[in-house]
Chain A
Amino acid sequence: MNSKAKAAAIFKDNLQNFFFVLPAFAIFCTFYIYPFLNMIFLSFHEWRGIGPMHFIGLQNYQELMSDNLWWDSMGHAGYITLIALTFQNALAFALALACDREIRMKRFYRVVFFIPPVLSEVVVGLIWNWILNPEMQNGQHIGLLNHLLYTSGFPQLVHNWLGDPKTALTTIAIVNSWKGFGWGFIMLLAGLQTIDKQLYEAAKVDGASSWKIFTNVTMPMMMPVILVVVILTILGCMQVFVLILTMVNEGLVNHTDVPVLRILSAMTGTNRFGYACAEAVNFGVILVCISFMTKKLSDKAKQV
């Protein structure tokens, strides 16, 4: 075969491959790349969702930089994420460690722990709204939590959990953790089960204590899984909003605002689509940076 014929055969092969990839590429471009680029394009405009767009350059971004409500909402999402990273993931890890041992009704616990994440956020919000209901009827507390506190001798702890700025965000963060810990539990449990049991036996033979085994065997082996759980927790919690919308509607003043709710409010409440897109771009960049930093930190931790 001469070189011309060879080149033609390669070209034909490449062309065929290109056509096989084309449908997936077209779908990706249509549903991911185009909306993404369009969002960036819109963020430089003033637009109310319908009618003409006005190019305003970086004005939306300038306004965003001095928008205290936006940065407060970022702080609120950060707080919810922090609670999830600590309380939620610690609980998930502890339960995963417990279920990794030979205990009775292990499968039952696994199913029970996985129920909250399977429920929709709307359902969880409605359930917790009932549990946290601050009202009274005929001298009785309607909400389960306040009823239990009252009847078990702690009337001083009865509280309007979602109506008080001091407790509203923490309450939402805890409910969010309750809903989310099942994912971490399943992933961490799966990770624990992949650790070679011989490593534990060898450590025991060497006289290592349970704590030493945990810190020197379990934790290093679990780092890749923990990293995935941490990144998913950050991305999931920073974007929480349905739960908040269900629990406190349009929010308790601005104490329960999170970035996605601010974006939604800019779009539907004040019809500022351009500004909403600027918020979305800003939020997306921050999330990418956080994920990148988490990955870098974890890589460093692994090297140590």
Chain B
Amino acid sequence: MRKLIVLCSCLIFIVLAGCSQPPKPSNKILLWHWMTDRNDTFQRLAQQYKQETGIEVIVQLFAPSDSYSQKIIAAAQANVLPDIYGILDKKSIVADFIKAGLVTDLTDAMDADAGSWKNSLFDRALADKRFEVGNIYGVKPGIYGVPIDVTNVQMLYNKKLLAKAGITTAPGTWEEFIKDAQALKRVGITPFVSGWGELWLADCFASNYAFNIMGEEKIFATFRGQVKYTDPDWIRVLSVFADLRDKGVLMDGIVTKGNKYAEQDFALERAAFAFNGSWCVNVYHDMNPGLDYGVIPPPPISTAYPLKIWGGAGSSFVVNAGSPNKDKAIAFLKWLTAKGQQVVLAQETNNLPSNKGALLAISPILKEFAGNMDTTTHPTIWPLNEDPLVIEAFDKGIQAIIIGEKTPQQVAQDVQVVKDRQMARGK
């Protein structure tokens, strides 16, 4: 019988131990992030913050970003989110987090002191987690995230390889780009590489040219179902990839290439042009410190509309609305995005700072990236987004064009079939 009592006691203890107490305010803030390249700097800055304020920031890294995303969703379901975290997902998912009461509205903090915090940051970066009046997600208007850095995706060119082919200036138009690619091919240099095995990067490239060819109104009209993907302008966007394929511009195996491999190819001078984000500066520096390259927006194919590149907030943090340390978490993020800390982050991690005042301290190549920030756009700031299944069909279609399996017209029809199906379902 004694055994039985001992067993019962153990079970009761286990059950009681599982019942957690509601969290209490403390001088410790828990931050979860996914940025392997910034972890050391975050840790150092957290120590500095503790020395300055006495508040300990526990920085925990969970990489890669895909796993981090899943961890955040699982933590949200279990209601065990940390004080500060990031949501690496579509704006609709960010909206779901906000509506579930998991994200703090930072508008008041941003607007305090005549908006000094808000005004110190790039507006484009803030737009990533800002919900405007009348937004389609039904979220209360406000700013819900703090950008730690900004980023954009552009074309890079290797100056040495271009010189080998007798090219003295970077291309300014699509025709010049194709002409340069032919010249590079003649001297045995692969013209272009990108990590299009990661579909979002090919989608980003297509989106650049969609803005250039038809302008944003027509793009959004397509999302609303008012314009078909079989429209000549969309076929022209898809034909960009057929053109790249037919002219032999693309590196072999580009459709299954991860961006890490594409970065390696460009850093090791296996290709003259690349399409990549500003985070690549750090990557290239690690792989080949002597790499001499420049930055240009993808060469426009049309003069009808301005070409827009993807960019905005690189990495953002949000504050857990259920955190007892909410105010301390906000104060820490304000400190982290102040000029001094942003300079440290920019210099140590080679990322574009989100604080405008820190721009003076960045490297010349990052300044080239920063030079085109005004032409950036991003799905997270668009008034509406395309259905994910349509995006998947579109991106897979791009792959099919590159490997010569389908024509742009066939892909456009396939995408429209998916679009019609989703529209019929009311999505």
CB within 8 Å of B: which residues of A?
Answer: 12, 15-16, 19-20, 22, 48-51, 129, 133-139, 142, 160, 162-165, 168, 247-254, 265, 267-272
Q: Is the CB of B4 within 8 A of A19?
A: yes
Q: Is the CB of B197 within 8 A of A248?
A: yes
Q: Is the CB of B403 within 8 A of A252?
A: yes
Q: Is the CB of B253 within 8 A of A134?
A: yes
Contact of A51 among B11, B100, B392 (CB under 8 A): B100
Q: Is the CB of A135 within 8 A of B392?
A: no
Chain B residues near A162 (CB, 8 Å)?
Answer: 253, 256
Q: Is the CB of B257 within 8 A of A50?
A: no
Q: A51-B100, A271-B90 are in contact. Are A129 and B261 (CB under 8 A)?
A: yes
Q: Mark B65-106, 1 if CB is under 8 A from A, else 0.
A: 010011001001100000000000110110011011010000
How many angstroms from the CA of A162 to the CA of B254 in the assembled complex?
Answer: 10
Contact of A249 among B73, B188, B198 (CB under 8 A): B198
How many angstroms from the CA of A136 to the CA of B193 in the assembled complex?
Answer: 13
| Chain A to chain B contacts (Cβ below 8 Å), 14 pairs | A16-B4, A19-B7, A51-B100, A136-B252, A139-B188, A162-B253, A247-B256, A249-B197, A249-B257, A250-B199, A253-B399, A253-B400, A253-B403, A268-B66
Q: Mark B354-375, 1 if CB is under 8 A from A, else 0.
A: 0000000000000000000000
Which residue of chain A has the shortest Cβ distance to B200 in the bound complex?
Answer: A250
Chain A residues near B92 (CB, 8 Å)?
Answer: 48, 271
Contact of B253 among A133, A137, A165 (CB under 8 A): A133
Is B265 an interface residue when CB atoms closer than 8 A count as contact?
Answer: yes
Q: A19-B7, A135-B265, A137-B270 are in contact. Are A252 and B96 (CB under 8 A)?
A: no
Is B224 an interface residue when CB atoms closer than 8 A count as contact?
Answer: no
How many angstroms from the CA of A271 to the CA of B94 in the assembled complex?
Answer: 12
Q: A48-B96, A249-B198, A252-B403 are in contact. Are A271 and B388 (CB under 8 A)?
A: yes
Most buried by A among B3, B8, B392: B392
Q: Kindly provide the distance from the CB of A69 to the nearest chain B CB, expressed in whole angstroms.
A: 9
How many angstroms from the CA of A168 to the CA of B96 in the assembled complex?
Answer: 39
Q: Kindly provide the distance from the CB of B95 to the nearest chain A CB, expressed in whole angstroms.
A: 9
Q: Is the CB of B253 within 8 A of A50?
A: no
Contact of A160 among B76, B100, B198, B253 (CB under 8 A): B253
Q: Is the CB of B197 within 8 A of A250?
A: yes
Contact of B256 among A139, A248, A254 (CB under 8 A): A248
How many angstroms from the CA of A94 to the CA of B418 in the assembled complex?
Answer: 49
Chain A residues near B265 (CB, 8 Å)?
Answer: 135
How many angstroms from the CA of A147 to the CA of B286 in the assembled complex?
Answer: 28
Contact of B8 among A12, A19, A160, A247 (CB under 8 A): A19
Most buried by B among A163, A247, A267, A269: A163
How many angstroms from the CA of A163 to the CA of B254 in the assembled complex?
Answer: 8
Which residue of chain A has the shortest Cβ distance to B3 in the bound complex?
Answer: A16
Chain A residues near B100 (CB, 8 Å)?
Answer: 50-51
Which parts of B117-151 form the interface with A (CB within 8 Å)? none
Which residue of chain B has the shortest Cβ distance to A270 in the bound complex?
Answer: B388
Q: A50-B93, A249-B198, A269-B392 are in contact. Are A134 and B399 (CB under 8 A)?
A: no
Chain A residues near B251 (CB, 8 Å)?
Answer: 135
Chain B residues near A139 (CB, 8 Å)?
Answer: 188
Q: Is the CB of A164 within 8 A of B403?
A: yes
Which residue of chain B has the shortest Cβ distance to A129 in the bound complex?
Answer: B261
Most buried by A among B1, B7, B265: B7
Is B389 an interface residue when CB atoms closer than 8 A count as contact?
Answer: yes
Q: Is the CB of A254 within 8 A of B396?
A: yes
How many angstroms from the CA of A138 to the CA of B69 in the assembled complex?
Answer: 41
Top 6 nearest A-B pairs by Cβ distance?
A249-B197, A270-B388, A51-B96, A248-B256, A134-B252, A50-B96
Chain B residues near A50 (CB, 8 Å)?
Answer: 73, 76-77, 93, 96-97, 100, 102
Q: Is the CB of B270 within 8 A of A48?
A: no
How many angstroms from the CA of A163 to the CA of B250 in the assembled complex?
Answer: 12
Q: Kindly provide the distance from the CB of B255 to the nearest chain A CB, expressed in whole angstroms.
A: 6
Is B217 an interface residue when CB atoms closer than 8 A count as contact?
Answer: no
Q: Is the CB of B252 within 8 A of A163?
A: yes
Contact of A269 among B197, B254, B388 (CB under 8 A): B388
Q: Mark B257-275, 1 if CB is under 8 A from A, else 0.
A: 1100100010010100000
Which residue of chain A has the shortest Cβ distance to B89 in the bound complex?
Answer: A271
Is B207 an interface residue when CB atoms closer than 8 A count as contact?
Answer: no
Q: Is the CB of A15 within 8 A of B90?
A: no
Is B108 an interface residue when CB atoms closer than 8 A count as contact?
Answer: no
Chain B residues near A252 (CB, 8 Å)?
Answer: 255-256, 399, 403
Chain B residues near A51 (CB, 8 Å)?
Answer: 96, 99-100
Contact of B93 among A49, A136, A251, A265 (CB under 8 A): A49
Which residue of chain A has the shortest Cβ distance to B195 in the bound complex?
Answer: A249
Q: Is the CB of A163 within 8 A of B253?
A: yes
Chain A residues near B270 (CB, 8 Å)?
Answer: 135, 137, 142
Chain A residues near B257 (CB, 8 Å)?
Answer: 249
Chain A residues near B90 (CB, 8 Å)?
Answer: 271
Chain A residues near B188 (CB, 8 Å)?
Answer: 138-139
Q: Kindly provide the distance from the CB of B181 to the nearest chain A CB, expressed in whole angstroms.
A: 16
Chain A residues near B255 (CB, 8 Å)?
Answer: 163, 252-253
Q: Mark B8-46, 1 if CB is under 8 A from A, else 0.
A: 100100000000000000000000000000000000000
Chain B residues near A253 (CB, 8 Å)?
Answer: 255, 396, 399-400, 403, 405
How many angstroms from the CA of A133 to the CA of B251 in the assembled complex?
Answer: 11
Which residue of chain B has the shortest Cβ distance to A159 in the bound complex?
Answer: B252
How many angstroms from the CA of A22 to the CA of B190 in the assembled complex?
Answer: 65
How many angstroms from the CA of A165 to the CA of B102 in the assembled complex?
Answer: 44
How many angstroms from the CA of A19 to the CA of B251 in the assembled complex?
Answer: 64
Q: Is the CB of B93 within 8 A of A48?
A: yes
How many angstroms from the CA of A19 to the CA of B7 in the assembled complex?
Answer: 7
Chain A residues near B96 (CB, 8 Å)?
Answer: 48-51
How many angstroms from the CA of A214 to the CA of B258 in the assembled complex?
Answer: 48
Q: Is the CB of B198 within 8 A of A22?
A: no
Most buried by B among A142, A253, A270: A253
How many angstroms from the CA of A252 to the CA of B100 in the assembled complex?
Answer: 37
Q: Is the CB of B252 within 8 A of A135?
A: yes
Q: Is the CB of B403 within 8 A of A265?
A: no
Which residue of chain B has the shortest Cβ distance to A137 in the bound complex?
Answer: B270
Q: Kindly provide the distance from the CB of A280 to the nearest chain B CB, expressed in whole angstroms.
A: 15
Chain A residues near B392 (CB, 8 Å)?
Answer: 265, 269-270
Which parts of B319-367 form the interface with A (CB within 8 Å)? none
Q: Mark B394-409, 1 if CB is under 8 A from A, else 0.
A: 0010011001010000
How many angstroms from the CA of A267 to the CA of B70 in the assembled complex?
Answer: 9
Chain B residues near A16 (CB, 8 Å)?
Answer: 3-4, 7
